[in-house]
Amino acid sequence: MSILESGPARAGLMSRVQGILMKPAAEWDVIDGEAATVPGLFTGYACILAAIPPIALVLQHLLFIHWTIIPIIVIAAVSYVASLVGVYLMGMIIDALAPSFDGQKNQVQAMKLAVYPYTAAWVAGALNIVPILGVLAIIAAFYGLYILYLGLPKLMKCPTEKTMGYFVVSIVVAIVVNAVIGMVIASITAMMMVGAIAGGAAAFGGFPH
């Protein structure tokens, strides 16, 4: 059973967050030996932290941009689901590529590598509440890539000399996948904006002249 599967009280959600962000190499050694399941990794960790950026998005628009709230909630919900789908697909990619780089296929270990490096971006997503601080979330995402790089040879057992190739190919494939996901989110966002503008125009037109 994953140390997170029975909820944050078992292992300490904050302890894991601090460990993977502040001492990732040592934390990967701990994570490597943990029994886990894919559902446990998501319900006990990913689903919780992935909610931070969408909540921040809603607060940003309530405090600074003042869009109609319903479209923003829809966009945030779609972004939340899309981020979790992206994490799952990343895990599948890492697992599928393992033999090509003399690693060992292991879906659970691959999902650990997909879930935990996203911690940096998820936590930094809270900064999106203030639009000007959003760039820091991008920097955090790059740090997440470094965390992933450290974990690949430990969890997938690939040779050190092949880690960089494994890492680069995984990231390239993931970028393509996430680009598609991003296009879907962008399309939905555009439709929500058009709907909000149309709704505002209709409401304005209903006032007496």
Mean pLDDT calculated for residue range 162-166? 96
Query: What's residue 96's pLDDT?
Result: 95
Query: What's residue 61's pLDDT?
Result: 83
pTM for the complete prediction? 0.81
* CA gap 67, 58 in Å, rounded: 10
* CA gap 6, 53 in Å, rounded: 24
Banded model confidence at residue 66, pLDDT cuts 50, 70, 90: low
* CA gap 195, 207 in Å, rounded: 19
* CA gap 81, 42 in Å, rounded: 12
Neighbouring CB atoms inside 10 A of 121's CB total: 22
